[in-house]
A and B are shown apart, each in its own frame.
Chain A
Amino acid sequence: MKEPTLIAAPYSHAKTSVSRTMGLVMLALLPATLFGLYQFGWPAIFLFTVTLISAVAAEAFSLRLAGKPVGLFLKDGSALLSGWLLAMTLPPWAPWWIGVIGAFLAIVVGKQIFGGLGQNLFNPAMVARVALLISFPLELTLFTAPSPLFSASAPGFLEGLAVTFGGSNAIDAVASATPLGHFKTELGRGLTLGQASEGTGSLWQLAWGQIPGSLGETSALLILLGGLFLIHKKVIGWHIPLAMLAGLALPAALFHGLYPGQYVGPLTHLVSGAAMLGAFFIATDLVTSPVSRSGQLLFGAGCGLLVYVIRTWAGYPEGVAFAVMLMNACTPLIDHYLRPRIYGRDRRGEPLNTDGKRENT
């Protein structure tokens, strides 16, 4: 027998690994992603591919620079996942360089500068998304109506290439507002909710996702499906998603109930924009969310509430990226104060009373 390293037990291990965790998340993203790629056609497929390749390239470059084993860390799948999540949040017909710059921001600025895997304070995809939104507001807010692959309105392969890699202004012809953007504008100019709703799809269309929106965010139902799969597989807990959706829906229900004409209802909030993707895939990012269940509930509720506040009263129609990043910044604080109670100790950390002890008898 060769001399193995002397190391403490256990000498058995659950069949888990970082790459398995990342792989399961990507599997869960697959239905919503495929739907998005189908619905927004070739330009979406090109943008998605460019973003993922750029993310992996940025990761390999950073790892080499840092002198870490490139192969080992590329295999963990975390860079691919960050790129994937970023691509999901981009306007599907955005030009290729949005994907490249975004992937660079996510991997290099959002993750590797902090020390790489597990060290980043903020969700890398959201760092990139926010930076892109502020730097390139035009490209990041130009959305298209769905035009499924092979349908009459859809661009062909070459036209798709032209949309993504330049030389086409086809997007101007099909540009369309997202439901949240639409509500923001219409309610902002004094229309009632009833009047504003005429311009958006039915609640079913919103939930299924046949609406203008980001590449992979439109289908609330498919994202929910993937999220439930992740909870079932115990990759994520139910605490953050539920708290975030509740944190968004409860104030929405309250204001909608009080002023039905002026505030968008809770169901619309839940199925529009990045709410579902944010609740199940963004806020639940393992690295940047709290570790205790109570901390996760607080974190999720904070995300949901901030999303509502930003959507309703701030300048942007959507606020998931800002909300999650603000709560990411609170994670160390939450982890410091909200910890599980230690066995045999009370909440303050003092040993429990020993009532059974007989002294000196």
Chain B
Amino acid sequence: MKIKLFPIRGGVHPEDRKGLSAGMAIEAIPLAPLLHIPLQQHIGAPAEPLVSRGDRVKKGQLLARAQGAISAPVHAPTSGLVMGIGGYPAHHPSGLKVRTISLKPDGKEEWIEGLDPVPDPFALAPEEIARRVAEAGIVGMGGATFPSAVKLDLRKRYSLHSLVINGAECEPYLTCDDRLMREQPEQVIEGARLMARGLGLESVLIAIENNKPEAQAALRAAAAPYPAVKVIGLPTRYPMGSEKHLVQTLTGKETPARGLTADIGVVVHNVATALAMHEALRQGRPLIDRVMTVTGGAIATPRNLRVPLGTPVSFLIELCGGFKQEPARLISGGPMMGQPLPNTQVPVVKGSNGLLALTAAETQQAPEMPCIRCASCVGACPCGLTPLEIAARIRAGALDASVNRGLLDCIGCGSCAYVCPSHIPLVQYFNHAKGELAARQRARHKQLETKRLAEARSERMEALQRAKQEAMARQKQERAAKAAGGGEA
């Protein structure tokens, strides 16, 4: 399908290194001896556990239910024994402990009874689709982990015209979406059409970068019976998969600052999310595993694996033959926007799309030099920012000035830092400033709240005091009146 595409600003062409794992078919893996399932694998409130230590659970059983408007439930990836609920290092650079259910698989893989497959999910009402997606615990699997059902509800507040399925996979190294599209194109298409149904939409655009011709061909063939589903080839350029830029490429329209793509009538979902929705609706299967790429120059045999959630990262590394050399960095996600992992004990979560063990030759680290104002970062920024100017202001502690220069419009794609000849860690500056601003805002909020409460208290105290005085005055009057009356009597 040829449609007119629109140019986006900036971007870079990193060496994609997808060849390491692109040829490896997705493989199921054996169960790890112990699974660690965090209660928060999504944006929003953590799930509330429904099991306790010593419980036997079946595969697919609800372990913890969603809490609040933005949350997602968590299910058992396999059957086994709940060993405990407690703190375990998070899949996060801090390595801080988060509430986690530890599950010892019994190896029987017994499914829970009462899964609710739907023979014709297209007959379901949009509300019912959203309800089932919420119950299956599906979140954005491109890494954002925003609860998908909440995103399906956007139709209530916005007038939408298109669903975009993001198969750009513009991060170097990662091949999980590529493999998934090649191997399960029909399921992806059906998931996408179900999403469209849930959103009350017809038009589905599946966007795939041109460096994945096999995936494009597979999805085109699978989409052939459905004229409303179009597969579109995208120019290969990072960050093509940034949803705002993807939508701009497809529609020519920019998402307003601080807004959502829904503001211009488009909802974007990842291909892996589409597959999860297909499984949830057609088979009644909750989200209990995901496809991820284990790769990098330090990994002996890079592979694409279908991993039960909660599997420790160290187990995956062993499955891929271990390290063939000491990695310089261990990354969750892609090299451009991924996060460093504190250790190999952390578990795989719903948002894990890649595990990278990079060698020093791959990371190309070099000592930081002063900025030579070469403006490479200005040319590379897809958001029209001047990263060098923003970083200079942050370095000087002028955070408000950096906001005026567009700090909060930064999507953190890292294109600027990637091209910087002085190797200045620009994203580190930006993240530091964003965090500091958030902390200041929290502090200000707290201060205002404290002030408000203190004022309310003193008002209350005064009112109390007044009431006491009035009561005493009244009593005095009454006594006086009584005394006077008595005198008369």
A interface residue numbers (CB < 8 A to B): 1-2, 4, 6-18, 20-21, 72, 76, 78, 116-119, 235, 237, 286-289, 291-292, 335, 339-345, 349, 351-358, 361
Contacts and interface: CB of A to CB of B under 8 A. Distances in A.
B52 interface: no
A158 B13 CA distance: 54
Contacts of A16: 376, 419-421
B258 A12 contact: no
Given A16-B420, A118-B371, A340-B386, A8 B14 contact: no
Contacts of A344: 244, 254-259, 383, 409
A185 B258 CA distance: 63
Give the bracket for the number of chain B residues in contact with chain A. 35 or more
B251 to A, nearest CB: 11
A7 B428 contact: yes
Given A1-B326, A344-B257, A351-B256, A14 B14 contact: yes
A345 B254 CA distance: 9
A8 B9 contact: no
The SS class assigned to the A binding surface is loop
A82 B58 CA distance: 72
B234 interface: no
22 contacts: A1-B330, A4-B329, A6-B340, A7-B340, A8-B428, A9-B427, A10-B417, A11-B356, A12-B358, A13-B365, A14-B12, A18-B369, A117-B372, A291-B373, A292-B375, A292-B378, A342-B406, A345-B257, A345-B406, A345-B409, A351-B259, A356-B262
A12 B376 contact: no
Nearest to B327: A1
Contact of B256 (A4, A15, A292, A353): A353
B6 interface: no
Most A Cβ at <10 Å: residue of B258, B326, B372: B372
Interface in B378-402: 378-379, 381-386, 388-389
Nearest to A331: B373
Given A8-B427, A11-B356, A343-B384, 19 more contacts: A1-B327, A4-B328, A8-B414, A8-B431, A9-B335, A9-B417, A11-B329, A17-B421, A72-B367, A72-B369, A291-B373, A342-B409, A343-B382, A344-B259, A353-B256, A354-B259, A357-B263, A361-B156, A361-B157
Contacts of B1: none
B65 interface: no
B265 interface: yes
B475 interface: no
B384 A352 contact: no
B265 A17 contact: no
Interface in B258-285: 258-259, 262-265
A12 B336 contact: yes
A48 B287 CA distance: 71
B6 to A, nearest CB: 13
A335 B257 CA distance: 22
Contact of B335 (A11, A342, A349): A11
Contact of A357 (B93, B157, B372): B157
A7 B265 CA distance: 36
